[in-house]
Amino acid sequence: MLRLGLGTAAAVALLVLPFWVPSAWQNLLITTFYYAYLGQAWNILGGYAGQLSLGHAAFFAIGAYTSAILATQYAISPWLGMFAGAALAAILSLGIGYLGFRFGLRGFYFILLTLAVAEICRLIALHLPLLGGYTGLFINYTPNPWQFQFQGKIPYYFIALGFLAAGSGIVWLIQRSKLGAYLVAIREDEDASEALGVDTFRYKMIAYALSASLTALGGTFYAYYQYYLQPNTVLHINHSVDIMIRPIVGGAGTILGPVLGSFLLELLGEFSRTYFAGGMAGLSVVIYGVLLIIVVLFLPRGVYPTLAHLMRRRRPGRAA
């Protein structure tokens, strides 16, 4: 009952919140939801299946560029184009997965493979005239909801929130299914999973394709929120780190991890910018980094699992 009440209160708060806060805060909330969504997508592969990808920027960019090009060159609505982008991202992920998993790349070697592919994508994008090269790709602003373009921030707020809700819903379903149980087993011990009948190759491929295509959908949102795509931003390794850092800080392999991680990092970033910017150049980034190190050092499994553990201990009588 208490949980239901809290849930309803939170839902109502989220629905009225954008109408009450100033524009800068709307932006902060949109970014928070949107990175939480991307983190949720990364979480399927990285958190549940335990295959760390440092190249999710590639799938993100495929989603962003595909829907943008389809809309600007072929007049196809981004609402449809986003699924084309998701399909392309899935195809790329299956290619990388086939190479990596067929030849048994694990741990660091898989990470390096994903990183290398993203870098190759960045270099290709920089030299492809169709994508605008170094100049980047501009999207003309024509406020038309069918073109995924809106006036003001509030529509974006609800779309970002919708993305997050849908992404979290998908992860929730995975968690309760055979797929989820198998992914977690693979993360814990691949050989033991194989011995118990888990087709580890097939399930890693499924996780990769799901994760990549959901990430690509997020790329479309970005394209029509920023109206500008540049390879050194969207395809940079920093962006891959941005995608993975939130679920890792919040708690990889948990459904609330990416959400909590995104809120914490966004607040942390905002806090360090507000209070330490303006003085020494870059000080805010240093503070952000130090705070990040503290979180990772003291909560190595992420914030959410630690919190959940503390909560359980404070509720006597429920300990088994």
Partner 1 sequence: MILLRVTGVSKAFGGLRAVRRVSFDLAEGEMLGLIGPNGAGKTTLFHLVSGFLRPDEGIVTYAGESLVGLRPHDVCQRGMVRTFQIARPFLRLTVLENVVVGALERVAHRREAVAIAEEMLELTGLADRAGSMGHSLTLPDRKRLELARALATRPRVLLLDEVMAGLNPTETGRLIDLIRAIHGRGITILLIEHVMKAVMALSQRILVLNYGEVIAQGSPEEVVRDPKVIEAYLGEDSAGAEAGAKE
| Choice from 181, 268, 291, 292 touching partner 1 (CB under 8 A) | 181
Give the residues across from 137 on adjacent strands. 229
195 sits near partner 1 (criterion: CB under 8 A)? yes
**Nearer to partner 1 among residue 60 and residue 182 (C-beta):** 182
Is the distance from CB of 59 to CB of 215 less than 8 angstroms? yes
For the CB of residue 269, give the shortest distance to partner 1 in the complex, in Å: 30
Is the distance from CB of 302 to CB of 257 less than 8 angstroms? yes
**Nearer to partner 1 among residue 180 and residue 219 (C-beta):** 180
Residue 223 CB partners (closer than 8 Å, separation 6+): 63, 64, 65, 67, 68, 78, 139, 229
298 sits near partner 1 (criterion: CB under 8 A)? no
Q: What kind and span of H or E run contains 286?
A: helix 283-298
Maximum CA pair distance of the chain? 65
**Nearer to partner 1 among residue 102 and residue 127 (C-beta):** 102
Helices 23-43 & 237-250 angle (0-180, nearest 10): 80
Of 16, 52, 60, 12, give the one whose Cα is nearest residue 35.
Answer: 60
**Piece in contact with partner 1 (CB under 8 A), picked from 41-49, 166-174, 188-196, 287-295:** 188-196
202: left (phi over 0), alpha (psi -120 to 50) or beta: alpha
43 sits near partner 1 (criterion: CB under 8 A)? no
**Size of site (CB under 8 A) for partner 1:** 21
87 sits near partner 1 (criterion: CB under 8 A)? no
**Nearer to partner 1 among residue 201 and residue 271 (C-beta):** 201
| Choice from 102, 106, 127, 178 touching partner 1 (CB under 8 A) | 178
| Choice from 32, 193, 262, 284 touching partner 1 (CB under 8 A) | 193
Is the distance from CB of 181 to CB of 49 less than 8 angstroms? no
**Piece in contact with partner 1 (CB under 8 A), picked from 53-61, 118-126, 178-186, 278-286:** 178-186
Whose tokens are 């009225």? That residue is: 16
Query: x/- contact string, 197-216, with partner 1 (CB under 8 A)?
Result: xxxxx---------------
**Nearer to partner 1 among residue 26 and residue 254 (C-beta):** 254
Chain contacts with partner 1 (rule: CB under 8 A): 176-178, 181-182, 184-185, 188-189, 191-201, 320
